[in-house]
Structure 1
Amino acid sequence: METIRLEFQPKIKAKLLELLSSFSSDELKIEQEDPDFDENKRKLDASLAKIKNGTAKFYSLEEVDAFLEETISKYEN
C-alpha cells in the first residue's frame, strides 16, 4: 500500500469520506493523523540531535529503578 497526506477544508470532509467509503478495506485504509505529530516530531528531533552531538544524558536500569522506587515511596503514604 501507499500512503498520502491530504489537507482539505472541513466543509468537504463528508463528501470526501463518502467517496472513500466506496472502496473496500483491502483497497483503502483511513488512518486519523495524530494532532500532536508536529510537536512530537520536533521533540524527537531535538532528542536525536542531543544523542548525536553527545550532550544527551543516559541512565542505567539500576539508576532508573532507584529513581522510581524513591518517587513511589514519596507518594505511598
Structure 2
Amino acid sequence: METLTIQFESNIKAKILELLNSFPPNELKIVTENPVFAANKKMLDIALEKVNNGTAECCSIEELDEFLEKALSDYEN
C-alpha cells in the first residue's frame, strides 16, 4: 500500500470521508494523523543516519544502566 497525505478545508471533510469510505477496506485504509509521529520520525531518521555513517555514540549495557539509574534518581528528586 502507499500513503498519501492531503490537506483540505474542514468544511469538505465529510465529503472526502464519504468518498473514501466508499472503497473496500482491503483497498483503502484511513489513517488518522498522529501529531507526534512526524517529530519522532525525524528524530529516529537522524539517529539512523548517525548509525549508518558511523558517527553514533554507543555505550555498553552497564553504561546505559548507570545512565538510566541517574536519570531516574534526578527525576525523583
- TM interval, shorter chain, is 0.5 to 0.7
Gaps of 5+ in 1: none
Identity between Structure 1 and Structure 2 (%) = 48
SS at 2:50's partner residue?
Answer: helix
1:65 Cα deviation from its structure 2 partner: 1.1
For residues 63 and 42 of structure 1, what CA distance do their matches in structure 2 show?
Answer: 26
Gaps of 5+ in 2: none
Counterparts of 1:1-77 in structure 2, within 5 Å, are 2-10=1-9, 11-74=11-74, 75=76
Once the two structures are superposed, residues 11-68 of structure 1 have per-residue CA deviations (whole angstroms, 9 ceiling, x without a partner) of 3211010122233434432111333444334323322222223221112221111222
For residues 22 and 56 of structure 2, what CA distance do their matches in structure 1 show?
Answer: 49
Equivalent pairs, count = 75
For residues 3 and 33 of structure 1, what CA distance do their matches in structure 2 show?
Answer: 15
RMSD: 2.6
Greater radius of gyration (CA)? 1
TM-score normalised by structure 1 residue count: 0.64
- Look up the equivalent residue of 2:16 and give its one-letter code: L
